């Protein structure tokens, strides 16, 4: 007849040390029936299985973060959260997925805002209204100078007999106006 192997039994404190939790957590698990004991001692192999099966991972694990509102009976399957209507599909995703997507979108938005602010501080980005005002002012200056062109060169052109000379004078004046507008664009 084969000899039956003797089970290793350890104290609740030793089991807590092995598991990496407080001894109070193990005591509560024993008290609520989440893990079983033999004469107050714990069979680590069996307790590991029971701990995994009977511990609701979505619930807080200590008093600092909060206690579960309702205990569950041993063997009852764990449910991460009872959110009632949260299981409804909203826009093709449930609320947990929707929250993750919303948070990702928020993080992306904040990163984009931070990049825009950095670009603005570096001077590589300026406000659109500033660009519109600058473009308007440059166009107004060019318009005013072009309108004043005939009055400025009329007498000179009237005294000139050569068409080539008239063309040269007009080209020089138009070039001067374009250069003034370009120079005004630089800060």
User: Can you give the residue ranges of every domain in the chain?
Assistant: 7-76, 88-122, 128-185
Mean pLDDT of the region 87-91: 45
Q: Say whether pLDDT at 84 is over 50.
A: no
Q: What pLDDT shows up at residue 113? A: 92
pTM exceeds 0.75: no
Q: What pLDDT shows up at residue 108? A: 92
C-alpha dihedral sign at 156, 161, 167, 169: negative
Distance separating alpha carbons of residues 28 and 56, to the nearest angstrom:
14
pLDDT in tens, 3-38: 555 678 999 999 999 888 888 989 998 998 889 898
Mean pLDDT taken over the chain: 78
* Burial of 29 per CB tally in 10 Å (0-12, 13-18, 19+): buried
The candidate with the shortest Cα–Cα distance to 85, out of 93, 95, 76, is 95
Q: What pLDDT shows up at residue 19? A: 84
pLDDT in tens, 111-140: 999 998 998 888 888 888 988 998 898 889
C-alpha dihedral sign at 172, 177, 178, 182: positive
pLDDT in tens, 161-176: 899 999 999 999 999 9
59 three-class SS: coil
42: number of Cβ within 10 Å: 28
Cβ contact 10:42 at 8 Å: yes
Q: Say whether pLDDT at 65 is over 50.
A: no
């Amino acid at each position: 007849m084969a000899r039956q192997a003797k089970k290793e039994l350890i104290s609740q404190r030793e089991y807590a040390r092995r598991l990496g939790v407080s001894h109070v957590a193990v005591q509560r698990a024993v008290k609520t029936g989440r893990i079983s004991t033999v004469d107050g001692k714990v069979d680590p192999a069996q307790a590991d299985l029971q701990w995994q099966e009977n511990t609701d991972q979505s619930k807080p694990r200590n008093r600092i973060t909060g206690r579960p509102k309702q205990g569950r009976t041993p063997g009852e399957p764990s449910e991460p959260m009872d959110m009632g209507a949260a299981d409804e599909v909203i826009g093709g995703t449930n609320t947990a997925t929707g929250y993750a997507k919303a948070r990702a979108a928020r993080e992306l938005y904040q990163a984009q805002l931070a990049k825009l602010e950095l670009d603005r501080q570096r001077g590589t980005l300026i406000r659109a209204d500033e660009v519109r005002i600058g473009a308007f002012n440059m166009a107004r200056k060019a318009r005013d100078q072009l309108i004043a062109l005939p009055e400025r060169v009329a007498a000179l052109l009237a005294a000139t007999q050569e068409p080539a000379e008239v063309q040269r004078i007009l080209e020089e004046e138009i070039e001067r106006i374009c250069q003034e507008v370009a120079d005004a664009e630089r800060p």
